[in-house]
Amino acid sequence: MSFLKFLLGEKKSSANVAKERLQLIITHERNEGTGSAPDFLPQLQKDLIEVISKYIKINAEDLKVNVDKHGNLEVLEVKIEMPQDPKDAIAKVG
- Cβ neighbours, 10 Å, residue 78: 13
Name the DSSP letter for residue 62. Answer: G
Q: How far is CA 39 from CA 10, 14, 52, 72, 90, in A?
A: 32, 23, 21, 20, 31
Q: What is the mean pLDDT of residues 41-51?
A: 89
**Which amino acid, 63?**
L
Distance of CA 60 to the CA centre of its chain: 13
What pLDDT is attached to residue 67?
A: 84
pLDDT tens digit string along 11-44?
A: 667 888 888 888 878 776 666 655 556 778 888 8
Is the full-model pTM beyond 0.85? no
Which helix (H) or strand (E) segment holds residue 69: the answer is: strand 63-70
